[in-house]
Copies of this chain bind each other. A is one copy, B any other.
Amino acid sequence: MRVGVLTGGGDCPGLNAVIRAIVRKGVPEYGYSFLGFRDGWRGPLEALTKPLDIPAVRGLLPRGGTILGSSRTNPFAVEGGVERIKRNLQNLGVDALIAIGGEDTLGVATKLHEMGVNVIGVPKTIDNDLAGTDYTFGFDTAVNIATEAIDRLHTTAESHHRVLIVEVMGRHAGWIALHSGMAGGANAILIPEVRFDIDQVCQWVESRFRLDYAPIIVVAEGAMPKEGDEVLRSGEKDAFGHVRLGGIGDWLAREIESRTGKEARTTVLGHVQRGGTPTARDRWLATRFGLHAIDAVHDGNWGHMTALRGTDVVTVPLAEATKALKLVDPGLYAEAEVFFG
């Protein structure tokens, strides 16, 4: 059997570890050969390939990113895309495909499976918002990077009596904000799932200063004030008379400064959250996902993806991962609120 492997969507620490585990088990245990597809779905669509054998995966375990490259190409948005993929797979002698990716990549995988392609999925999202699995790899690394940044900002906040705001990833779900905020000892954590009240935030800031501490606020990029996005769009003029817009972190800094009179500074962590060597836990999870993905190929478990449930890696239907986002539960968020203010 010849197995194709591709990685789609934003890069994520652990992708290479998955690829390595698939090959390291698939070759000696099942006698499979492998073919890498480059740049997500663009690979099978345009027959862009990369050799994938045991020497090719050497040294990959600690390396971030993906040696296969990635893209957000959607073959269903391309005319005749699916047919081209099927034809390319056939021409290249590829019998099965392992697609490692997030909602979009797995969405394509689900549909291709329904159209007869032998697909196994491996869930990937830095944001941890894919349903069907307790955690995804890359998330633990992102949380550790964000927590380390928060640790560093504490000392600056204290030394300068400033509000420090950290904007972390999380467009739809606040998992990174919640975990890193709790691990970093944030005084407020703002997540997309719960619209925040800017007056309440300012009260927390002020109560913190009354205790002679300096507040740290962790905000997910997708968090929103109760007033909604009109507020964000209205903007303010900068020194050059231009309207200055930015993300929610910048908006918060401006609002807190103008409402409390305290200096506020924002750090947008950005791409550093998703790059570099994975934590031990993400390597462990990615490796196990890879091992179970190739087992699923062997079992002909098409249309399924690997998933973590408790301490077990299992397989679940691909459709489970893509039917709804996994959001932060209100009860869990309430646990964190003890530390606000």
Contact = CB atoms under 8 A, between A and B. Distances in A.
A152 to B, nearest CB: 3
A59 to B, nearest CB: 8
Interface in A1-39: 7, 10-11, 13, 15, 21, 24-25, 28-29, 39
A309 B134 CA distance: 11
A161 B73 CA distance: 14
Given A64-B152, A149-B272, A338 B29 contact: yes
A149 to B, nearest CB: 5
Interface in A183-227: 183-185
A291 B338 contact: yes
A48 interface: no
**Among the interface residues A21, A183, A246, A279, which one has the most CB atoms of the partner chain B within 10 A?**
A183
A235 B238 CA distance: 12
Nearest to A146: B280
Interface in A228-250: 233, 235, 238, 240, 242-246
Contact of A66 (B70, B146, B159, B281): B159
A276 to B, nearest CB: 3
Given A158-B65, A159-B11, A240-B233, A283 B183 contact: yes
Interface stretch (A91-99, A114-122, A262-270): A262-270
26 contacts: A15-B159, A21-B338, A24-B338, A25-B338, A61-B184, A61-B185, A62-B151, A62-B185, A64-B155, A65-B154, A140-B281, A145-B152, A146-B280, A147-B280, A147-B283, A151-B276, A152-B274, A153-B272, A156-B275, A179-B284, A183-B281, A184-B280, A235-B242, A242-B242, A244-B245, A266-B270
Given A140-B281, A164-B271, 8 more contacts: A24-B338, A25-B338, A69-B161, A149-B272, A153-B272, A182-B287, A242-B245, A309-B310
